[in-house]
Amino acid sequence: MRAVVMRKLLKALQSVALLMIDCLLAVVRQRRIRLGDWPNHDVVEAALSTFKEFGAERLETKQVNLPLDIENLYFRLQGRRVRLWVEEYGDVSLWGPRAIVGKLAGRIAKKLSVQKHERGIA
């Protein structure tokens, strides 16, 4: 019971923190876009294939020491660093320069809708 309450509290704090982070990112011409949820492996696969399609160079991977399991995948695209934030059983989001993140997110969403449509037909 206590673990459930802690998880709910962490989720609420995370929501508030992410709103504040989004505001700060906008000031420095950066952006964070939520792509989907982790249990849907298609989101991560579509993101990785989109990075490859755009010619992104993979950089180091960092593990964050938080109560939640989070993996940061870093890429260099058009000379700028972009981060794919994968939270285990949580959100998958893209962080980086506003223009680059917008293009990537649009392409990832298009890939996911095509995959969903193809699964609906099959």
The terminus-to-terminus CA distance of the chain in angstroms comes to: 42
In the structure, what pLDDT confidence band is assigned to residue 8 with cuts at 50, 70 and 90? confident
pLDDT of residue 7: 81
pLDDT in tens, 18-67: 778 878 877 877 888 888 876 667 888 899 999 999 999 999 766 656 55
3-state class (DSSP) for residue 56: coil
C-alpha 64/C-alpha 95 separation (Å) is 15
List of residues 6+ apart from 58 with CB closer than 8 A:
51, 73, 74, 75
Q: Taking a C-beta distance cutoff of 8 angstroms, is the pair 88, 38 a contact?
A: yes
Amino acid 85: pLDDT: 86
Output the pLDDT for position 24. Answer: 80
The pLDDT of residue 67: 55
Domain ranges within the chain, ordered by starting residue: 31-121
Query: What CATH number is given for 31-121 in this structure?
Result: 3.30.160
- C-alpha 89: how far from its chain's center? 13
Q: How far is CA 47 from CA 6, 64, 94, in A?
A: 31, 20, 9
Instruction: Give the confidence band of 71 by pLDDT, cuts at 50, 70, 90.
Output: confident
What integer pLDDT is reported at residue 28 of this predicted model?
77
User: So what's the pLDDT on residue 31?
Assistant: 82
Sheet bearing 80-87, strands edge to edge: 30-37, 91-97, 80-87, 69-77, 57-65
